[in-house]
Structure 1
Amino acid sequence: MPVISAPHEFNTEDLYVDLRDMYGYPLHLKCEGFNFAGSIKLKAAASMIEAAERSGALTRESTLVESSSGNLGVALSVIAAAKGYHFICVVDARTNLATRKVIESLGSEVHTVTEPAAEGGFLAARLAYVQRLLAGGPRYVWLNQHANPDNWRAHYRTTAPQIEKQFPGLEVLFIGAGTTGTLMGCARYFKDRPRPVTIVAVDSVGSVTFGGPPGPRMVPGLGTGVRPALLDTSYVDHVVHVPEADTVRACHTLARGGFLFGGSTGTVVSGALSWLAEHRPGQNTTAVAIAPDLGERYLDTVYQSSWVRDVYGIGVDGAPAAPETPSARDTADAQGGDAVDDSHELTELPTGALQS
């Protein structure tokens, strides 16, 4: 029985869901949401805070500042509460209301950016807001999850070795791409091993991370409007881009099986199934996908029938809503892009071809 004195000391590492019966594909889902922050981001948050403390950059007089779509903000709030730090989390209008309430309940501040930048969207706007805060004096400390190597190091030290321990014969690993901390940590680890493991990054349609055109994205978590500084594509073998409508469909399929996962997990599962159908049809491949989060914070969005209908024009069962609502088109127009395409885009990256 674990006995802890701080919330970041506990995380369930060895829980997997076998999705073969549900989907017909040999895919194991590594569940990372069973900790006091509710997501995989607790690892990165702890790693970055501990490194800042060791360097002396973070002291009791400091005010932590971070841009987050939600999950890292919660994780930093958990640790800030435990350690007594003041924390300001900069989010945007897409961040789930439940997430913002959790951050505030833990004693941290939430500053919400309501307008996207002309270039780089909401992420660029959040980062610009962070810079304005930093101009307020040296007491503000920015961990910068998008460029901080202690983000990916957390997963090199923990997530990847745990997967290797449970699946020594691993052939394919599916990882969602947000800041790319999880992706880079796991990819670097397995590329350092003698056995080849195919690394498949799963991204959202509308994300610019892997060079795609920017587009509207309403589900926070995966995808970026600014290419992450951590990304080195020489470690990535394939990329799958998933439309958000397919993210919603995957979340609801999992929920109908009793598994309430978050939007990032729905994206990863949808992308993994698409890749397996394309590259390993009918094969008994040893494959793992990382599930970053759980679904409770998405009850007002991904799991809310009216929200899904208004944004994507589909019902909660994934079928097209009839008639299509004007607000779905209005949402896309307001974000500066077209409605998302319902087909996956598969991209193969030759080793070293796109080295950053």
Structure 2
Amino acid sequence: MSNFNELNVYSGPDSLKKYFDPDSQPPLPLVELPEYLNPYYQDGVRIYAKMMTMHPTNNVKAMPAMNMLQSSVVPGKTKTIVEYSSGSTVISMSMIARAMHGVQDTRAYLSNKTSEAKLRLMQFFGLNISLFGGPSQPEPYDERGGIQSARRIATESDEVLNPNQYENNNNWQSHIRWTGPQIFKQLPEINVLCAGMGTSGTMTGLGTYFKQAKPSVVRLGVCTAPGDRVPGPRSFALMKPVEFPWKEAVDTIEEVNSYDSFSLSLDLCREGIVCGPSSGFNLAGLFQMLEKRKKAGTFPELAGPDGSIHCVFLCCDLPYQYIGEYFQRLESEKFHPIQNEKLTRVDLYRYDESWERSPVVLFTHFYESPKSRSQDILSMLVLRPQCFVVDLRTATDFNSWHLPGSVNIPLQSLDSHTPNPFSDPSVLEAEWLELEALLKEQSVLDKLRDQHVLVICYNGDTARIATSVLRAQNIQADSLRGGHRALKDQGLWGDGGAESVGEKSYARSAVSVTPIPLQTN
């Protein structure tokens, strides 16, 4: 454990190799919990989180993956790595295989009960995934399970490597090589060490290391409570087939439920120690042991020469792939409600500033340029070919004044007094639902297809929503920024109505000024 890179800089042709190599990094952080996260602080207990999440792979399995691949990959021969893993081990292997050994093909065998979030995460990191039915933690030699399948495929080709974390001693020995020495160097006064029991590699390695380095350290292994499930650890009953020498590496076992695991993880995350449920699981096990010791009056047996009890628990991975489970397992009161949550079901399409056009667009895109700029300009406007103007205002307001050739589609959710939809969520919901239903009708889409559509409303924002809906249907649509009000500001319409700009003849002699359904020819 050289740790000579105090400035934490990695450069040169081997920069990634050095970045992943624990011997080229400063020790991973060891962070003491503040008093408000430590209920035993006044009893002289100091609790530290070992942030295994701060390795480049963001999880505790980085060290085993590094050690197993370093001892097994044959340069120039190994082309494929296959491993049965619930996530962290095989993800770490895939990254380390690429960075350290140039092996691009890593295949994950795992349970069909794996969450969609984990499956997507593995796909994200370029893993080739095969699912297996049956128990999520199968017996190593069960011919029906994925562990045996991974072992078998590796025997069929010299180019395929199955590190097999369940039987490979380089798994747990990685913590003798790196994690244990780091912790002891950072906190030589350590009195209690706590880690979860899954493959048991972490606890086996750390427990074996401290048995030699500092035999007085109490080694606490944590298992999942019977009938419960926490991602990663196993129940004590499932530890029976594990072949690592874990029994000699632990002094005591605690069983922890999933609720406490997720709840403590949430508390840690919100205070800045970002970690997943197995980290809260480890801390819960430590709390349980400390509470039993306190009630039994045996705290002094744990204390060091300074009178304090220095405890270390491992933070194993990050919470993000488990976010859905936090909401499933914990009370809703632990999370602030989402204000205006109904908006998650409406206004679903994108907006673009380029679709929101100024009134100038009337004379550059939609209407032929008038030959003169007389006061009677509106009566001379003629829509360009393939252009279509939709007016969403009420029929009454449309009949009072509208652009030549425009079509009225009045909305029940809109009139001149309707609040701005982006300031009133209930208005946005109502308008979007109505526009979504109306503008998705096939007869409407057929009418607007291959047209350049301009949408107008009172102040521009309802038209903006309509444009978003139309664009989602691949209709070329724009909205008029500022709407009818902007046209008034441009002098195209005044307080006296059409007559104020000389449009008396148009407004009163138009063939039809009633709402025109889009399907009408």
2:234 to 223, 248, 256: 223
Does 1 or 2 have the higher relative contact order (CA < 8 Å, sep 6+)? 1
Question: 1:161-185 CA distances to partner (integer Å, 9 max, x unpaired)?
Answer: 1111111111111111111111111
Alignment of 1:206-355 (within 5 A): 206=226, 215-217=227-229, 219-223=230-234, 225=238, 227-280=241-294, 284-301=308-325, 303=326, 305=327, 307-308=328-329, 314-316=330-332
Paired with 1:152 and 1:200, the residues of 2 have a C-alpha distance of 16
Q: Which moved more, 1:262-271 or 1:231-240?
A: 231-240
SS where residue 294 of structure 1 aligns? coil
Structure label with greater radius of gyration: 2
Paired with 1:262 and 1:117, the residues of 2 have a C-alpha distance of 19
Paired with 2:36 and 2:166, the residues of 1 have a C-alpha distance of 37
SS where residue 293 of structure 1 aligns? coil
Paired with 1:107 and 1:186, the residues of 2 have a C-alpha distance of 31
2:322 partner amino acid: Y
1:105 partner amino acid: F
What is residue 183 of structure 2 aligned with on the other side? 163
Question: 1:183-216 CA distances to partner (integer Å, 9 max, x unpaired)?
Answer: 111111111125511100011123xxxxxxxx35
1:147 to 167, 190, 213: 167
1:84 partner amino acid: G
Paired with 1:93 and 1:12, the residues of 2 have a C-alpha distance of 38
1:128 is displaced (CA, Å) by 3.5
Question: 1:8-64 CA distances to partner (integer Å, 9 max, x unpaired)?
Answer: 2366634123223313232111111012211011111010000013xx4x7544321
1:84 to 102, 105, 114: 102
1:130 is displaced (CA, Å) by 2.0
Q: Percent identity, aligned pairs only?
A: 24
1:173 to 160, 185, 193: 193
Shift of the 252–183 alpha-carbon distance from structure 1 to 2, 3 Å rule, reads same
Shift of the 12–118 alpha-carbon distance from structure 1 to 2, 3 Å rule, reads closer
Question: 1:272-312 CA distances to partner (integer Å, 9 max, x unpaired)?
Answer: 111111114695311111111121222232x3x2x32xxxx
Shift of the 59–114 alpha-carbon distance from structure 1 to 2, 3 Å rule, reads farther
Question: 1:58-102 CA distances to partner (integer Å, 9 max, x unpaired)?
Answer: 754432111111110110111123233221111223434333333
Shift of the 119–195 alpha-carbon distance from structure 1 to 2, 3 Å rule, reads closer
Are the equivalent residues in 1 in contact too, given 2:138–2:147 (CA < 8 A)?
Answer: no
1:49 partner amino acid: L
Paired with 2:209 and 2:36, the residues of 1 have a C-alpha distance of 30
1:71 to 66, 70, 88: 88
Q: Which runs of 4+ in 1 moved over 6 A?
A: none
1:186 to 197, 206, 226: 206
Paired with 1:293 and 1:249, the residues of 2 have a C-alpha distance of 15
What is residue 377 of structure 2 aligned with on the other side? none
Shift of the 118–199 alpha-carbon distance from structure 1 to 2, 3 Å rule, reads closer
Paired with 2:206 and 2:62, the residues of 1 have a C-alpha distance of 16
Structure 1 unaligned spans of 5+: 207-214, 309-313, 320-356
RMSD across aligned positions (CA): 2.8
Q: How many residues align?
A: 298
Shift of the 133–203 alpha-carbon distance from structure 1 to 2, 3 Å rule, reads same
Paired with 1:258 and 1:166, the residues of 2 have a C-alpha distance of 21
Alignment of 1:8-19 (within 5 A): 8-9=20-21, 13-19=27-33
1:23 to 38, 42, 55: 38
SS where residue 255 of structure 1 aligns? helix
2:83 partner amino acid: E
Are the equivalent residues in 1 in contact too, given 2:208–2:248 (CA < 8 A)?
Answer: no
SS where residue 111 of structure 1 aligns? strand
